[in-house]
Amino acid sequence: MRCIITAGPTCEPLDQVRRLTNQSTGNLGTRLANHLATLGHDVLLLRGEMATAHLPVAAVKILPFSSVDNLASHLASLACSDPIRVFHAAAVSDFSFGKTFFRDPKSGELIPVHAGKLSTRIGPLLAELVPTPKLINLLRDQFPNAIISGWKYEVDGSRAEVIDRCREQIQGARIHFSIANGPAYGTGFGRVTSESVIHTPTLEALIEDLSRNLQGID
């Protein structure tokens, strides 16, 4: 079966030197891609250029991405009506940078600053954070016959609240299931559908569970 997996973080430029990114290693998505490839599946791994998990990669085609827009462009170019699997595990930044400002010490006015490399000689700066598009909300139209899974890594709240957020994602993005993890969920992973939660205690168990469910979900 043909599988598309996104993994690792996006990075959004502040200037030509500095970046805003997520603390994502790309480990989960890369290991899932390796496992599915060893089972004989046709796997394309879209992996963030800032991913820090330097794992050996099995017979997998790799397409690197940088920003949210860059990843969105790759996914749009891969759009198809085939019954494939899409595992959207990338840590997509919720924000990109808008304008950067310097506050005039006399008037208090915010003055836009433009530079290839912002200098500390200017003093304190204020950077505007602009929400990025929710790429998972585009996947159903791009891959209308695919089985699509999303991810919810949450830091705040309880396990029950994370599961509720997964179900909101399932409904809003029209996907089949969402993987819950992070400090708010607690140890392990939850494969959440609109009706059930399948808990797996380790990453290895999650990967095994996902590989067994390539043809559908239970």
d(CA 120, CA 100): 13
Average pLDDT, the chain: 94
Structure-token match 């390539």, residue found: 214
Q: pLDDT grade, residue 54 (50/70/90)?
A: confident
Residue 215 has a pLDDT of: 56
Q: What distance lies between CA 157 and its chain's CA centroid?
A: 20
C-alpha gyration radius of the chain: 19
| pLDDT tens track for 86-143 | 999 999 999 999 999 999 988 999 999 999 999 998 899 999 999 999 999 999 999 9
The CATH number, out of the four listed (3.30.420.40, 3.40.50.720, 3.40.50.10300, 1.10.3720.10), of the domain defined by the range 2-94+134-212: 3.40.50.10300
Residue 216 has a pLDDT of: 52
Residue 56 has a pLDDT of: 84
| pLDDT tens track for 147-187 | 999 999 999 999 999 999 999 999 999 999 999 999 999 99
User: What would the mean pLDDT of 3-14 be, rounded to a whole number?
Assistant: 97
Domain range list for the chain:
2-94+134-212, 97-129
Among the listed residues 175, 190, 212, 159, the one whose alpha carbon sits nearest the alpha carbon of residue 39: 212
